[in-house]
Structure 1
């Protein structure tokens, strides 16, 4: 959405982007293996307008957060709340903004630390709003590329998968040569995300797996290659609508993720609790070391959600075909 005054100047630019979840391929995607991820029906919305007092500000009522920004030096003065997501917004501003004073408002219905790509969604939405605010042509390819650079600069290392999905929406297959293809289907099966209060650190977990691989190159190389083969099998199962096969591959994938050291007691508890309460398949989603699991539970989403919510946190999700846009408020 874009609000324009009578002189033709943009008064407010509003953009939103979906969260995402990785179905198959976390960690192995770092080593040129394929991955499958999908956008979900939880979104981040960013609005940008000129500041009236000469100071750039960022506010989010959802996160109970407010800060004054120095966009040129990528610094901030925290007024209330926890900094968290601000580093991604500052990095996006540094890459695209002219450092004139602006007011930014963030609305977020993606739980932080839930494995649903809140940072990628916020980054993509911020860049899209900035492009419109500054009259830059709306180009999804460019936004996804910039967003990946932002995430890499903040985290130290990042796969392009999250920002690709948050930009384009839908379910995508990222090939070994980094070509993106979109699944041409309407996949409506039920998923539940379970997440703990202990958040994973993507950069730390990627470095940990790399160190393990360096110490055991042949063994880890075989495991990573097998993960890639699971993705290829999952692609065929999704296209054919074979729910049993999808679930079986998720459970196999979980065992391999455990073997490379990214599982935790809390994640394992949720994985097996989900299966006990009706999930056909369940596995870590994202980097692990804390964070989240995804449970595939056709017809059992309520039971799985309630079971996970007893000791941790859970949210039911639906897959979404809608990517970043400038019309959502």
Structure 2
């Protein structure tokens, strides 16, 4: 029987703290019930392969050089996998399969989910014990290498799961109870580019610090107010804070026509609040709804764009060993 390891990790949605979290402000995010999965098998050939039936691509890998030869499709997320393999693989020949039911570039943390699952599967394949804290740190390092600058929030949430508050000191505090409200994620076919958007905000901050620093600080204060509101399950206050947060994101220039269209469509069809989730520039919005309006919101957005209804998930990274390598 061929040696094999399988790992999976969830995507995430950010409720509060996009962009400001890069500058050590607090944030609130949650793992969702959509995941990336990575299967690694010992190869019967004298080369390594990577394929994804979900994304429709197949490549032959050169893990030593960090390059690949395209067999078919467009492997848009492969840079994260190659970077992880360069750091954590011994370059033995393997066959890797990637499963993904998260839209790429939509602000739902697809790159973090893929990175966390890849590293977890590699460590398991090589029998390397690792803590979740270390896994999140390693995955963040990969995202930084690929994007140039990256928030640790995505990889922290993907590794640990649950609805979490990330403090200024990068300490994760899990909420004991799930947020009792339905959400609709809307996304367009215009993908966002996290690295580009983070660099855009950095440019504004460097050139207009007296204007942008207070905006970033206020976003942090909103996240702290939201933490209290979530603990009280004060849905109306959470909605107000989400809409306030969206105004600041708009001011940072990370909104687009398509995102704005979805935001106002959601609000006009019964959403209590709607805002960008993720880095913007394309990608996704998140809408807080009532049980009675969640279908109306989803149907309205679906006329021009796409939606998924998500639930927050308490499960983080999962590995298929009887004795998990986490402690």
Scaled by the length of structure 2, the TM-score of the pair is: 0.96
Within 5 A, what are the aligned runs for 1:97-136?
97-136=89-128
Aligned to 2:195: 203
2:321 maps to 1:317: no
Structure 1 unpaired stretches of 5+:
none
Correspondence 1:51 to 2:25: no
Q: Matches of 1:220 and 1:114 in 2, distance apart?
A: 25
Quote the residue 1:32 is aligned against. Answer: 24
Match of 1:326 in 2: 319
Give the superposition deviation at 1:180: 1.4
Which runs of structure 1 show a deviation greater than 2 angstroms over 4 or more consecutive aligned residues? none
| Alpha-carbon distance in structure 1 between the residues aligned to 2:38 and 2:195 | 26
Mapped partners of 1:25, 1:213: distance in 2: 16
Number of matched residues? 320
Contact persistence 1:188–1:319 (CA under 8 A): no
Q: What is the TM-score normalised by the length of structure 1?
A: 0.95
Shift of the alpha carbon at 1:217? 1.2
In the TM superposition, what is the alpha-carbon distance from 1:309 to its structure 2 partner? 1.1
Aligned runs of 1:114-193 on 2, under 5 Å? 114-193=106-185
| Offset of residue 111 of structure 1 | 1.6
Supply the distance in 2 between the matched residues of 1:284 and 1:139 (Cα, whole angstroms): 32
SS in 2 for 1:159: coil
CA drift at 1:260: 1.0
Return the alpha-carbon distance in structure 1 between the equivalents of residues 147 and 76 of structure 2. Answer: 12
Match of 2:260 in 1: 268
How far apart are residue 271 of structure 1 and its match?
0.5
- What RMSD, in angstroms, separates the aligned Cα atoms of the two structures? 1.2
Rounded to whole Å, the distance in 1 between the matches of 2:20 and 2:33 is 26
Return the alpha-carbon distance in structure 2 between the equivalents of residues 262 and 178 of structure 1.
24
Q: 1:11 aligns with which of 3, 14, 29?
A: 3
